[in-house]
Amino acid sequence: MSSEIAIKVEGLSKCYQIYEKPIDRLKQLVLPRALSFIGVEGNQYFREFWALKDISFEIKKGETVGIVGRNGSGKSTLLQIICGTLNPSQGRIYANGRVAALLELGSGFNPEFTGRENIYMSGAILGLTKEEIDSRLDDIAAFADIGEFIEQPVKTYSSGMYVRLAFAVIAHVDAEILVIDEALAVGDAIFTQKCMRFLRKFKESGTLIFVSHDMGSVLNLCERAIWLNGGKLWQLGKAKEITEAYLQYTLQEAYGQDIQLQKLESAKIVPSDITADDYSSSYDTDSVPCLDYGSQMRVNDNLSEANGWKTGAGEILSVSLGPLIPKGNEIFAGGEMVRMVIRAIVYQDIDRPIIGFLVRDRLGQVLFGENTSSFTDLNPLSVVAGSTIESEYIFRLPMLPNGHYSVMASLADGDLYNNVQHHWLHNALILNVSSSKVRWGLVGVHFENIQLKEVV
């Protein structure tokens, strides 16, 4: 295996024998062997369940790879095989480096041992000597920050305390490959942020395999992603592409086969004829300053190339974004007031239409968004087939770092908590930001005043 490869999986499969009744297990153990002595082939008293089937992939050193999939898709089984706690039925796996894992809650620690005793046990399993654990014990305890509970049996811990201790251990064993399986979902916000800081630092030199149902975390941490479905490797590719495809699939499962996952044909899209001058505004634009934070933003209409899905009940016709006060050019600044208009047509009666949008960065992380549901609850709009509807949003655009951003638009029916998506468009608009002074964080904010002075 190449020295550049951290994990190599070849034809990996895992099969479990499922018995309907306890007596069937005894029959399977005894009868086939007994019958083989007289040359008779015995019956099979179990059915096979393949948790994994013919999985193959490679992960290079220094890569961060996310694994996504619904519950029961084989994610945890795959990670257990990678970590060596479960043997495959078929295939081979190679791990080039020390592997440390934070698997599903409840694994790895002896519940009767204290936190301190479990630290020594886990460290020894991961290859550390007692002297090495002694030298790191204070750092582990400080990272876990569970106080005197470190001297109590783990069975008395809350789920959050358990994760604190488990993560603290794997963070101090000099692992070259780190495996995280959804366990951070039970931690409090402060500790989760501490863990995320560690993981970002670890990415600089180590290999990370990260499993989560939180697509934002996968996008934030991972360059590539693996999508498992029914024990099979469904897709492997860039994290942004895989998470978008997985989202489409889960929505199709929720709403049924009416949602067609497809590349939308540009011929079916009505060209946008919306401009900022078409709409009058009751806002006092004289009091709205242009908050130029040094950034320049250009909006490109990408509707004809947008990917998405639809049910056929309606369609987004156009999406536009521009300054609230028209300036006669396509460039405007972050921090100023803007108007977004989304127009759609419905092909069947819709009781409570909702139009919304999300703004995402280049990794697909959602920065902000809004929809019409909260603002129409008291006076819902019902439309009949053939109607054209339009939503307008006036807001102050956040100041964004340099880079490319996209606007997702959607048409739905229902309310905020129970709705059916009829049309979902990725990348309806592309925002290109340059010359920005924003250097930290995902977005910037406007400061009314900043001073530096000597205090006497």
* Stretch 298-316: mean pLDDT: 87
The pLDDT assigned to 266 comes to 31
* Stretch 307-318: mean pLDDT: 89
The pLDDT assigned to 187 comes to 62
- Rounded to the nearest 10°, the torsion over CA 242, 246, 249, 250 is -170
The answer to whether residue 270 scores a pLDDT higher than 80 is no
Q: Are residues 291 and 383 in the same domain?
A: yes
Of 99-103, 121-125, 206-210, the one with minimum mean pLDDT is: 99-103
Q: Which of 193, 216, 249 is the last residue of a domain?
A: 249
In 256-365 the beta strands, taken as DSSP E runs, fall at: 260-263, 296-301, 307-310, 314-323, 331-332, 337-346, 353-360
pLDDT in tens, 215-240: 878 888 899 999 999 999 999 999 98
Q: 74: part of which helix (H) or strand (E)? A: none
The answer to whether residue 279 scores a pLDDT higher than 70 is no
Counted residue by residue, the chain has a size of: 456
The answer to whether residue 445 scores a pLDDT higher than 90 is no
Q: Are residues 52 and 16 in the same domain?
A: yes
Q: 242: part of which helix (H) or strand (E)? A: helix 239-255
Domain that holds residue 427: 262-434
| Residue 217 C-beta-side C-alpha neighbours within 13 Å | 21
Domain of 107, CATH number, reads 3.40.50.300
The pairing of strands 353-360 and 331-332 is: unpaired
Q: Could you give the CA distance from residue 240 to residue 222 in angstroms, rounded to a whole number?
A: 9
Place of tokens 């002074």: 437
Domain membership of residue 317 (yes or no) is yes
The answer to whether residue 285 scores a pLDDT higher than 60 is no
Q: Which residue has the higher pLDDT, 226 or 244?
A: 226
Place of tokens 């970590």: 83
Domain membership of residue 381 (yes or no) is yes
Q: Which residue has the higher pLDDT, 387 or 378?
A: 387
The answer to whether residue 404 scores a pLDDT higher than 80 is yes
Q: Could you give the CA distance from residue 103 to residue 105 in angstroms, rounded to a whole number?
A: 6
Of 198-202, 215-219, 346-350, 418-422, the one with minimum mean pLDDT is: 215-219
Q: Are residues 243 and 267 in the same domain?
A: no
Q: Which of 225, 249, 273 is the last residue of a domain?
A: 249
Return the top range by mean pLDDT from 147-156, 158-167, 256-265, 323-332. 147-156
The answer to whether residue 424 scores a pLDDT higher than 50 is yes
* Stretch 371-390: mean pLDDT: 87
Place of tokens 């560690």: 198
Q: Are residues 216 and 332 in the same domain?
A: no
Q: Could you give the CA distance from residue 82 to residue 12 in angstroms, rounded to a whole number?
A: 10
The pLDDT assigned to 336 comes to 80
The answer to whether residue 282 scores a pLDDT higher than 50 is no
The answer to whether residue 39 scores a pLDDT higher than 50 is yes
The pLDDT assigned to 186 comes to 64
Note whether 173 and 128 are within 8 A (CB): yes
Domain membership of residue 440 (yes or no) is no
What is the pLDDT confidence band of residue 94, given thresholds at 50, 70 and 90?
very high
Q: What is the largest CA-CA distance in the chain?
A: 103
* Total of domains in the chain: 2
Domain membership of residue 455 (yes or no) is no
Domain membership of residue 446 (yes or no) is no
Adjacency order of strands within the sheet including 5-18? 47-60, 5-18, 90-95
The answer to whether residue 412 scores a pLDDT higher than 90 is yes
* Stretch 94-112: mean pLDDT: 81
Reading the block at residue 432, the tokens are 């290109």
The answer to whether residue 427 scores a pLDDT higher than 90 is no
What is the pLDDT confidence band of residue 160, given thresholds at 50, 70 and 90?
confident
pLDDT in tens, 5-22: 999 999 999 999 899 888
Q: Could you give the CA distance from residue 281 to residue 268 in angstroms, rounded to a whole number?
A: 31
Is the pTM here over 0.85, yes or no? no
Domain membership of residue 453 (yes or no) is no
The pLDDT assigned to 295 comes to 67
Q: Could you give the CA distance from residue 24 to residue 100 in angstroms, rounded to a whole number?
A: 38
Of 83, 17, 24, 76, which is closest to residue 50 (Cα–Cα)? 17
Of 260-264, 268-272, 322-326, the one with minimum mean pLDDT is: 268-272
In 90-235, alpha helices (H): 115-125, 130-144, 159-170, 189-202, 215-221
What is the pLDDT confidence band of residue 263, given thresholds at 50, 70 and 90?
very low
Q: Are residues 218 and 295 in the same domain?
A: no
* Stretch 197-213: mean pLDDT: 89
Percentage of the chain modeled with pLDDT above 70: 86
What is the pLDDT confidence band of residue 289, given thresholds at 50, 70 and 90?
very low
Domain membership of residue 130 (yes or no) is yes
What is the pLDDT confidence band of residue 292, given thresholds at 50, 70 and 90?
very low
Domain membership of residue 204 (yes or no) is yes
Q: Are residues 381 and 315 in the same domain?
A: yes
398: exposed, middle or buried (C-beta count within 10 Å: 0-12, 13-18, 19+)?
middle
Q: Which of 198, 218, 249 is the last residue of a domain?
A: 249
Q: Could you give the CA distance from residue 279 to residue 17 in angstroms, rounded to a whole number?
A: 66
Sign of the CA dihedral 304, 310, 311, 313?
negative
Q: Are residues 244 and 273 in the same domain?
A: no
Q: Are residues 201 and 66 in the same domain?
A: yes
Q: Are residues 236 and 283 in the same domain?
A: no
Domain of 374, CATH number, reads 2.70.50.60
The pLDDT assigned to 220 comes to 82
**CA 69 to chain CA centroid, nearest Å:** 11
The answer to whether residue 55 scores a pLDDT higher than 80 is yes
Q: Are residues 280 and 414 in the same domain?
A: yes
What is the pLDDT confidence band of residue 136, given thresholds at 50, 70 and 90?
very high
Q: Which residue has the higher pLDDT, 264 or 4?
A: 4
Q: Are residues 269 and 243 in the same domain?
A: no
Q: Are residues 287 and 363 in the same domain?
A: yes
Computed over every residue of the chain, the mean pLDDT equals: 83
In 256-401, alpha helices (H): 373-376
What is the pLDDT confidence band of residue 334, given thresholds at 50, 70 and 90?
confident
The pairing of strands 314-323 and 337-346 is: antiparallel
